[in-house]
């Protein structure tokens, strides 16, 4: 019981995944406002496939994707933690992956270096591949 109190692998992925998804869904409402209602919306529409418009759409889409991946990964880690190896590392890699879409927003709006985008993208990719390999190698029991 005491050791389970500190086992957060999976639970945090699900919680942070849903919170991140909520944030990027709300961000989508901002994008709708900018496209349909904001002053200067024509300029925003004309830059649909380039510049800030394109970058923030990438953040919106990847933010929701990476949030969803964290929910799925978290669920799988919770239910298969006794059969999989490296659960903690996979959990953390998936969480660090959220730096990718947040890094895009930080780059566009705050002028941050794109290193967070690369760290997040690489981290999520490694988490997904590692989990896939872990499931492939997982020992199953016969009933």
- Residue 142 lies inside a defined structural domain of this protein: no
Give the domain extent around 132: 8-137
- Considering only CA atoms, which of 60, 54, 49, 55 is closest in space to residue 110? 55
The answer to whether the beta carbons of residues 56 and 34 sit under 8 Å apart is: no
Residue 50: the pLDDT is: 79
Task: Provide the whole-model pTM.
Answer: 0.89
- Residue 32 lies inside a defined structural domain of this protein: yes
Evaluated on CA atoms 90, 105, 57, 25, the torsion sign reads: positive
Radius of gyration of the chain (CA): 18
- Listed in sequence order, the residues at least 6 apart from 35 whose beta carbon sits closer than 8 Å to its beta carbon are 41, 44, 45
- Residue 129 lies inside a defined structural domain of this protein: yes
Structure tokens at 35: 């496209």
Residue 136: the pLDDT is: 96
Question: How many domains would you assign to the chain?
Answer: 1
Calpha distance 122→127 (Å, rounded): 9
- Considering only CA atoms, which of 59, 73, 75, 71 is closest in space to residue 26? 59
- Residue 143 lies inside a defined structural domain of this protein: no
- Residue 2 lies inside a defined structural domain of this protein: no
- Residue 3 lies inside a defined structural domain of this protein: no
Residue 42: the pLDDT is: 85
Structure tokens at 130: 């590692």
- Residue 72 lies inside a defined structural domain of this protein: yes
Give per-10-residue mean pLDDT for the chain (143 aa): 60 98 96 89 80 90 98 97 95 98 96 97 98 93 66
- Residue 1 lies inside a defined structural domain of this protein: no
């Amino acid at each position: 019981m005491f050791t389970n109190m500190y086992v957060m692998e999976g639970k945090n992925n699900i919680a942070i995944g849903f919170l991140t998804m909520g944030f990027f869904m709300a961000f989508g409402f901002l994008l709708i406002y900018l496209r349909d209602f904001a002053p200067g919306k024509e300029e925003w529409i004309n830059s649909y496939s380039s510049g800030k418009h394109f970058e923030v759409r990438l953040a919106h889409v990847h933010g929701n994707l990476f949030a969803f991946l964290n929910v799925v990964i978290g669920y799988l880690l919770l239910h298969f933690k006794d059969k999989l190896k490296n659960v903690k590392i996979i959990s953390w890699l998936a969480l660090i992956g959220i730096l990718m879409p947040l890094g895009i927003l930080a780059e566009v709006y705050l002028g941050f270096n794109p290193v967070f985008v690369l760290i997040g993208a690489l981290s999520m990719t490694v988490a997904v591949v590692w989990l896939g390999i872990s499931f492939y190698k997982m020992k199953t029991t016969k009933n």
